[in-house]
Amino acid sequence: MDKKTLIDGLNQDLAGEFQAIIMYIHYAAAATGVDRIELAEFFQKEIQDELRHALFLANKITALGGEPVDEPLPVPRANSNREMIERVLEAEERTIKSYVERMKQAEEFGDYGLANDLQEIISDETRHKEECEKLLRGVA
């Protein structure tokens, strides 16, 4: 594993965190109906975790000698509360998979601190995924 490959992967993860921040802000504002308050609160609460992840990634990329990206991945559109949660769930699943890959790359590179930090982020993202799964059981 070379440093450039690791930095490129971390930048992809950073773009995903930017996507999540924007997605949560957009969905919090766009939620409607009887589930609006609960969903808006859920989306708003998640922003802080994603922002913390983004700050960590940007700092780590810089520490490794790279330059952090400043563009998010595209934010998926949703036409209903249910679609919003489904899009978030899909993003969380992709994010977990990506972070697991990055954790393995960090270990291979020999940056065990990064691997440990990524494991903590994987735990955060897994909790987000599980909350989405619970919400989907009760949203029309």
What confidence tens digit (pLDDT) does each residue in 52-98 have?
Answer: 999 999 999 999 999 999 999 999 999 999 999 999 999 999 999 99
Note whether 139 and 35 are within 8 A (CB): yes
pLDDT of residue 138: 77
Asked whether the predicted pLDDT for residue 50 surpasses 70, the reply is: yes
Centroid of chain to Cα 122: 9
pTM of the model: 0.95
What are 134's two structure tokens? 């619970």
Compute the distance between CA of residue 131 and CA of residue 84 in angstroms, rounded to an integer. 13
**The total number of structural domains that make up the chain:** 1
Full residue range of the structural domain in which residue 67 is found:
3-136
Compute the distance between CA of residue 75 and CA of residue 60 in angstroms, rounded to an integer. 24
User: Which CATH number fits the domain that encloses residue 45?
Assistant: 1.20.1260.10
pLDDT of residue 140: 62
Asked whether the predicted pLDDT for residue 120 surpasses 80, the reply is: yes
When pLDDT is cut at 50, 70 and 90, the band that residue 133 belongs to is very high
